Amino acid sequence: MQVDLKTAAALDEKDELAHFRDEFYLKTNTIYLDGNSLGLPSKRAESALLSMLDAWKEFGIDGWTQGEKPWYYLAETLGEQSAFLVGAKPEEVVVTGSTTVNLHQLAASFFHPEKNRTKILADDLNFPSDIYALQSQLSLRGLDPAVHLVKVKSRDGHTLSEDEIIASMTDEIALIVLPTVLYRSGQLLNIEKLTKAASKRGILIGFDGCHSVGAVPHEFHKWGVDFAYWCNYKYLNGGPGAAAGLFVHEKHLGKTPGLSGWFGSNKESQFDMEHTFTPASTAGAYQIGTPHIFSSAPLSASLQLFKEATLSAIRKKSLNMTRVMMDLIDSELSGFAFRIINPAQDERRGGHVALLHPEAARICKALKQAGVIPDYRSPNIIRLAPVALYTSYEEIWRTIQVLKDIMREKRYEQYENKREVIA
């Protein structure tokens, strides 16, 4: 598609989600394209957080059982409200912990090495924190991660082949943990195909949904995914440090989790204070500690926005925005050594565009100086994430014009080509 400013304005005029932009706090003269790392705050999220603070003021300790949103049930309530995001039943989801804590819990619950099945299958491109957690789980069982953590290699350094992942599902594999969307390249894996292959071989499989939930619809229950986990501060705009999400398929509910904690108890018996753990019959059993009330509050408001917008409309716009951005890159930035490394096919692409460039770090600094907020990933990737609820097509067009000016005038050369403390 050939896109100019007039075309971008026309796309914005026809955009059925354009009015949601008014729901968010947007900085003047700034184009925010880092929502795949930290989403922007909504006005409703602010109100929800302040309301929770007011409940603390009004009720004190009675806030656990009184008020509009009693804290005692908040993790389960938000889980039920989040279920539509991943195609789950209400009882299969809970909002709790953090991404890595939840992976530790799920690996402790579902990794049962026995006989020749003693290995975990992951991939060479996975987010480091996931790998650290899996290495820890192996070490805790006296298994050498160098031997028992199998990582599927990438042929091009950016994407993975589902067929090669399936070929690695040998009779030595006890557990598989993969991303839904690769955090660098934005490749969307075929979750249904991988889950069916794992199930056929008697291997449990779970997914890290951090870079897809809120941008890509899923059907975890229907596909038979054993478990999944994700953060709520990227596309879901739950705020920095927001409580994370956790899914456990109903076929595994009712079991005692690997890491038991008081708030994983059956709600009716929790305050009996018995030393015998009675797990909840829902995904709530996988909670470890007390719910993070203020880190959960904004999510309740954000989920309202997603319900109103609908995931299908969000996905449709997201795909169109990344398509427009890729077309603009091809037409406007040829000759500047950029290479798009995310998949071009809609069914294989997540919510961001990934650009490869040897000067990526300093280009990102120049973009920030010009009022465009990108995301850098070492050693040479620029991630640009137009978010359906608050990014406009005109902003996408202007971003590429800014980037073209930076390259043409070599403005990036004034910066050092290395990342800041936080990329």
Per-residue pLDDT at 181: 98
Give the residue from 242, 217, 387 showing the smallest Cα distance to 300.
242
Q: For residue 423, is pLDDT > 80?
A: no
Task: Write the CA distances from 66 to 58, 62, 416, integer angstroms.
Answer: 10, 6, 55
- What does the pLDDT average to over 25-31? 96
- Amino acid 420: pLDDT: 79
User: Average pLDDT, stretch 329-335?
Assistant: 96
The span from the CA of 294 to the CA of 299, in Å, is: 10
Q: Is the pLDDT of residue 221 over 70?
A: yes
Q: Take residue 135 and report the two structure tokens written for it.
A: 């290495």
> Which residues touch 25 (CB under 8 Å, ≥6 apart)?
40, 41, 42, 43, 46
For the chain, give the mean pLDDT: 97
Which residue, among 221, 235, 247, 226, has the nearest Cα to 87 in the 3D structure? 221
Q: Say how far apart CA 129 and CA 146 lie, in whole Å.
A: 16
CA distances from 321 to 41, 119, 314, 405, 418 (A): 21, 40, 10, 21, 29
CA 253 to chain centre: 23
- Asked whether the CA dihedral 35, 37, 39, 40 is positive or negative, the reply is negative
What letter represents residue 96's amino acid? Answer: T
Q: What is the mean pLDDT of residues 333-338?
A: 96
List, in sequence order, every residue forming a beta bridge with 263; answer none if it has no partner. none
Residue 149, pLDDT score? 98
Q: Please check the confidence at residue 421 and state whether its pLDDT lies above 80.
A: no
Note the Cα 326 to chain centre separation in Å: 22
130-156 pLDDT tens trace = 999 999 999 999 999 999 999 999 999
Given a contact cutoff of 8 angstroms between Cβ atoms, the answer to whether 12 and 19 are in contact is no
Helix boundaries (H) for 238-359: 293-309, 311-332
pLDDT digits 0-9 by tens, 274-323: 999 999 999 999 999 999 999 999 999 999 999 999 999 999 999 999 99
pLDDT higher than 70, residue 377: yes
- pLDDT confidence of residue 416: 85
- Reply yes or no on whether the pLDDT at 69 is more than 90: yes
Q: For residues 333 and 405, is the Cβ–Cβ distance under 8 A?
A: no
Q: What is the distance, to the nearest Å, from the Cα of residue 259 to the centroid of all Cα atoms in its chain?
A: 23
Classify each residue of 207-232 as buried b or exposed e, where b means 16 or more C-beta atoms within 10 Å of its C-beta: bbbbbbbbbbbbebbebebbbbbbbb
Residue whose entry in the numeric block shows the structure tokens 């007011």: 54
Q: Are 109 and 259 in contact (CB under 8 A)?
A: yes
Predicted local distance difference test score (pLDDT) of residue 335: 93
Helix (H) or strand (E) holding 150: strand 149-152
Q: Global pTM?
A: 0.96
The pLDDT-based confidence of 1 (bands split at 50, 70, 90) is confident
Query: Strands of 381-384's sheet, edge to edge?
Result: 339-340, 353-356, 381-384, 375-377
Residue 6, exposed/middle/buried by CB under 10 A (0-12, 13-18, 19+)?
exposed
114, amino acid identity: E
Specify whether the CB–CB gap between 245 and 229 falls below 8 A: yes
Averaged over 13-29, what is the pLDDT? 97
Predicted confidence (pLDDT) per residue in 91-132, tens digit: 999 999 999 999 999 999 999 999 999 999 999 999 999 999
* Structure tokens that stand for 378 in this block: 């070492």
Please choose, from the candidates 330, 318, 326, the residue with its C-alpha nearest in 3D space to the C-alpha of residue 344.
326
- The conformational region for residue 140 under phi > 0 = left, psi -120 to 50 = alpha, else beta, is alpha
Q: Tokens in use for 52?
A: 């929770």
